[in-house]
Structure 1
Amino acid sequence: MTKAIKLLTALPPPQRGRLTALAREVSFPEDAGIFEPGGTADRFWVIRSGAVSLTQRVSSLQQMTVASLGAGDLLGWSWLFPPYRWDFGAEAFSPVRAYEFDAAAVLALCEEDPRLGLTLVRSVAEILAHRLEMTRGQLLEQYALHRRGSL
């Protein structure tokens, strides 16, 4: 399994500086909802401290955690792809401090500096590939447990 990459450390220092100049420090108390599925994806975060749960609704009364994110992790990628709607929900599992980025400002920076844009998109793609790999492993594990229980 590949090691998870962290968005800000994946960028070379000059590009990281240009991106972080757009950051705004925010915090979320424990159990705070950060975004809901279907909401407008117009920003993203890099977690500085704390933990965030990505959730998926499985019924009108139940949701499940599909991933847990911590310090250095990217929270939110739907701002990059139409229709710019969140696919999952996110809530603070503990008090969270994060850098918040306005998607329109970051996309404008990427247009202005295509090299930064390409590096950023490649980094997000690598993060998503890693998360997909982790999810696939979890699904295979669940499948194996289910198969053993039904034999």
Structure 2
Amino acid sequence: MTTVTTVNAAVPAGHRERPVQFARQVPFEAGARLFGEGRRADPFWIVRTGAVALDLHEPGRRPAAVGMLRHGELVGLSWHFPPRMGQLGAEAVSPVRTWESDAEAVRAVYAEDPEFGFTITVWLGLAGTDRLDRSRTRLLDLYAPQGNGGLA
């Protein structure tokens, strides 16, 4: 699925290669954890192939999936925003190939190039807004009374 939040759709051509300039190709097997809630948010990833589930920790249970990321989508938003601690966890649901980027190196580049920094900030804002919208839709599907969309 191509949305405005994929790197190719959200980042102008002149800046598209810059996030992966500091990246390396990293594969994950199905079931591998990319990161967990409350951990330092560095690095971040761009999905090349496969799917990654975003999840929330539930004490005494398996993490609850709250979103799915696929080709071209950014895994990890918290690396950009202080205090740079993960708000969610992420797990490969299939074999996944990624570009893993050094967040500190990318932040250093956009500190020197405000246009690039603005581009990255807009991309992260679009990705965050899209994820909130998807979550809102799922919550409405789960909890809204059939037919009226209101609270019971």
TM-score (norm 1): 0.89
Residue in 1 that maps onto 2:5: 5
State the partner residue of 2:78.
78
Instruction: Kindly report which structure 2 residues correspond to 1:115-130, keeping only aligned pairs within 5 A, or say none.
Output: 115-130=115-130
Q: Percent identity?
A: 38
Q: Which moved more, 1:5-14 or 1:63-72?
A: 5-14
Across the aligned residues of Structure 1 and Structure 2, the Cα RMSD in angstroms comes to: 2.0
Deviation at 1:15, TM superposition (A): 1.4
Counterpart secondary structure, 1:100: strand
SS at structure 1 position matched to 2:16: helix
| Match status 1:32 vs 2:32 | yes
CA-to-aligned-CA distance 1:57-107 (integer Å, 9 cap, x gap): 223223210001111111001101111111111111000000011110000
Following the alignment from structure 1 to structure 2, what is the Cα–Cα distance between the partners of residues 40 and 5? 23
Aligned to 2:61: 61
Partner of 1:51: 51
Q: CA deviation at 1:127?
A: 1.1
Deviations 1:8-59 (A, max 9, x none): 4422222122332212110101101111111111110000001111111223
The structure where helix makes up a greater share of residues is: 1
Gaps of 5+ in 1: none
Compute the TM-score of the two structures, normalised by the length of structure 2: 0.88
Compute the displacement of 1:136 (Å).
Answer: 0.6
Mapped partners of 1:40, 1:147: distance in 2: 43
- Letter of the 2:58 partner, please give it: V
Gaps of at least 5 residues in structure 2 are none
Partner of 1:113: 113
Corresponding residue for residue 96 of structure 1: 96
Provide the aligned length of Structure 1 versus Structure 2.
Answer: 147
